[in-house]
Amino acid sequence: MGKGKSDDAKVVKRKGNTKMQLKRNIGYFDGVSFIIGSIVGAGIFVSPTGVLKHSLLNVGVALVIWTASGLVSLMGSLCYAELGTALPFSGGEYSHIKRGLGSLPAFVFIWTSVFTKPASNAARALLFAEYATQPFYGVCPAPEVLKKCLALAVLWSLGILNGRSVKMAAWVQTVFTLLKMMALSVIAVSGIVLLAGGRKETLSRFEDMFSSEMPNVSQIAEAFFQGLYAYGGWWSLNYMAVAVAVTWADRVIPSVAWIIPLSVAVSIFGALNSSMFTLGRLSYAGSQAGHLPVLISMLNVHTCTPAPAMIFSTTIASIFIIPSDLLMLTNYFGFSAWLMIGLTCASLIVLRYREPNLHRPYKVFLPVPFLMVAMSFFLVLAPIVWSPNLQYIYAFLFMLGSFIVYIPFVYFKMHFAFLDKITCHLQLLLEVSPPDGSAEGKHE
């Protein structure tokens, strides 16, 4: 798929002796901003209703799930910290799965991510448009065409930004991270004041918290999906139409309730920018490993940014925006995200035993990745076993499709000569060139 490139595919010459590779332009504060941007997105505003719904309005169960979701997210981040510091390669989970479990599981990961992650970005863009236009239409719904046009404009603006300048993308991320933290602070302080006021109807909800009906295993798994989405924000997309933040604003600060839709829009914008940044690097790494067309691994000769990878992922996201009913398909892939997390943590375990001398600046307590693998497979299997649905069959068939592509194009390296000519023309048009070295060992 990415092999067999001819000399024609390297027509664009680099100027001077500058090495073509991803530059280390992301500093400590920028890195923290991107992490916060990935974690704090729409989930914190829209997931609480989903957790309560699947907890059958059992407040005690909901609070337990929120706490457990935080602990699971913490364990996952510790596992990723070891992998990220031991293997600081462009591509993140893809590179770790490829190193630990091999080429085929890595290809399944990138095959799934190439569609599910842009679909998630498309939904974020649509949700941004929903909240950004809401203050101008009040109780009336904004026109669908307007929301789709705004979503496409935001997607391509961020796609171009990330394809042109890493520093500018980092600056935008930092600004919107600060804005979203201010918005969250307003919500948190207002909630504390509300509780401190001791209003009877507010405190009564915490009396006999576990007295309501108890959810079954499948419902608990679904509630976990909601809680984990709020903590993670990067792994899946479920129940995005829940607008609990606006309801909260109408009750707590009705005179300035428009602030909350605006704050949600700011938060989603920052999360979308962060997600597009990381997805571009994922496509770039997959292309360098031969799992995606070679053009996607090329860098702009002027900025050394993965412009083709950004165009590729943004184009797919745009396709998901146009017919909005396709966004319902993203729910079919919710379980695949946690399957990939399980594979990533499994690769950590394999590397511990297979490469014990690998330099690891940080080592997580070994039972933690085992717990993460167990949790991942619970979240994958519980809805299938206790609540079978055709959506899981569709998702399974989609992932099975990766084998159909992998065997001829990656394993047997089937190649068509006309693709070299197309690559050459696109390379000249985009002014891009193959990087020096592989994705492994290159990080920002």
Whether 440 maps to a domain, the answer reads no
Q: So what's the pLDDT on residue 161?
A: 87
DSSP per-residue letters across 187-226 = HHHHHHHHHHTT-HHHHGGGTTTT-SPPP-HHHHHHHHHH
pTM given for the model: 0.75
Q: Helices marked H in 87-143 — which ranges?
A: 93-101, 103-137
Question: Is 329 a domain residue?
Answer: yes
Residue 444 lies in a domain: no
Residue 148 lies in a domain: yes
- Number of separate domains in the chain: 1
What is the SS3 assignment for 268?
Answer: helix
**For the domain that residue 319 is a member of, what is the CATH number?**
1.20.1740.10
- Residue 240 falls inside a structural domain: yes
Establish if 100 belongs to a structural domain.
yes
Contacts for 210-216 with beta carbons within 8 Å, 24 or more apart? 210/58, 210/59, 210/60, 210/61, 211/58, 212/56, 212/57, 212/58, 212/59, 212/61, 213/56, 213/58, 214/56, 214/58, 214/61, 215/54, 215/55, 215/56, 215/58, 215/61, 216/386
Per-residue pLDDT of the chain (444 residues), as tens digits, is: 544 443 333 434 444 555 666 665 566 666 666 666 666 665 666 667 777 777 777 778 888 888 998 898 889 888 888 888 888 776 778 888 999 999 999 998 888 888 778 877 887 888 888 888 877 877 778 888 898 999 999 999 988 888 887 778 778 877 877 877 777 777 677 767 766 765 555 555 556 666 677 777 777 877 887 777 777 644 333 223 264 444 445 455 455 555 666 767 777 777 787 778 777 778 888 888 888 888 888 888 887 788 888 899 899 889 888 765 544 545 555 667 788 889 999 999 999 999 999 999 889 999 999 999 999 888 888 777 777 777 667 777 778 888 888 988 888 888 888 888 888 988 888 888 888 765 444 444
Residue 439 placed within a domain: no
> Which residues constitute the domain of residue 57?
7-433
Residue 2 lies in a domain: no
Parallel, antiparallel or unpaired: strands 432-433 and 299-300: antiparallel
For 433, the enclosing helix (H) or strand (E) is strand 432-433
